[in-house]
Amino acid sequence: MKYIIKKFFTLIITLLIVTIFTFVAFQVIPGDSAITALGMDATEDQLQNYREELGLDESIPVQYAIWLSNTIKGDFGTSLQYMETPVSKLISDRLPVTVCLAVLSFAIIILVSLPLGILAAKHRGKWLDRTISILTQVSMAIPSFFLGMILSLIFGIALKWFTPGKYISYSDNFAGFIRFLIFPSIAIAIPKIAMLVKFLRSSILRQMKSDYVRTAKSKGMKENDILYRHVLKNALIPVVTFLAMMLADILAGTVLIEQVFNLPGLGRTLLNAVSNRDFPVAQIIILYIAAIVVIINFVVDVIYKWIDPRVSANY
């Protein structure tokens, strides 16, 4: 329990530091939020009234305290790009798209890469291992956004399995929404499947050289029993970290795929917010991305403790 409390306390401190950097970063970026919101034709009195209303005329520490207090309460402010639209509504409308895309991509990665990684390790040096190795090398060399374009060309334009760019909202047709997300998810998953297969294969082969494996073999245990009862459990410990960072990367880095497939997710919204100096929206999305990474790391630490209780002895 002390281990988890310590990790949770570290999580809170890290998030607090992230809020400071996130807020200060947008304070030093050139530009005036009042002019962005009211336009170039606004009078000086209108601009001043707007700054006073939002507390923009206060010192940076006071502005940060106000922003942090409001953020903790769930009040993220109003978008400058979409006037009168609360940031919370923009986020709530776009978050399901990014989360569903990430979950579907992650599920594909797990379902494909774990069996392939185990097969490659079991058949080390044989034709199956070499075939998987060639496929992973090719897959890692193809960027996700380019793969998305190829999938759109083949399955969208040529085979007409879906209409490229014609987004189907989850609120209108959830089944159609999931079907539309399949190809963006595949585009995200394929390069990461290749990375995970190679990582898992290496981890399994490294464990197969351990003393406990030689002892088990000397006792007459079958290779499959050694692999699935002992080796795989130990080999998955470093893979958990790799998977966690991969999930964080998917949740935080879908902007290019969202652009290719015209998905109204958080990545595309962040790009538009930065381009249009919509700082309230950009700040919250960046904070979301940072929070995802920190929280996933915390979950990984807890999973480590569950997989191997000895982990806490190192902290």
Alpha carbons 109 and 190: distance in angstroms, whole number: 7
Report the mean per-residue pLDDT for the chain. 83
pLDDT of 112 reads: 94
Alpha carbons 51 and 34: distance in angstroms, whole number: 6
Alpha carbons 162 and 143: distance in angstroms, whole number: 21
pTM value is 0.80
Of 60-64, 82-86, 195-199, 221-225, which one has max mean pLDDT? 195-199
Alpha carbons 152 and 274: distance in angstroms, whole number: 27
**Closest-CA residue to 210 (of 174, 242, 237):** 237
**DSSP output for 105-138:** HHHHHHHHHHHHHHHHHHTTTSHHHHHHHHHHHH
Q: Taking the mean position of all CA atoms in its chain, how far away is CA 138?
A: 23
C-alpha to C-alpha distances, 285 to 74, 77, 87, 188, 255, nearest whole angstrom: 13, 13, 10, 20, 12
Q: Mean of the pLDDT values across residues 149-178?
A: 86
Q: Of 235 and 48, which is predicted with more confidence?
A: 235
Summarize pLDDT for 254-286 with one digit per residue, the tens: 777 888 888 888 888 888 887 777 788 888 888
C-beta of residue 212 within 8 angstroms of C-beta of residue 125: no
pLDDT bucket at 167, cuts 50 / 70 / 90: confident
Query: Tokens 């249009």 — which residue?
Result: 276
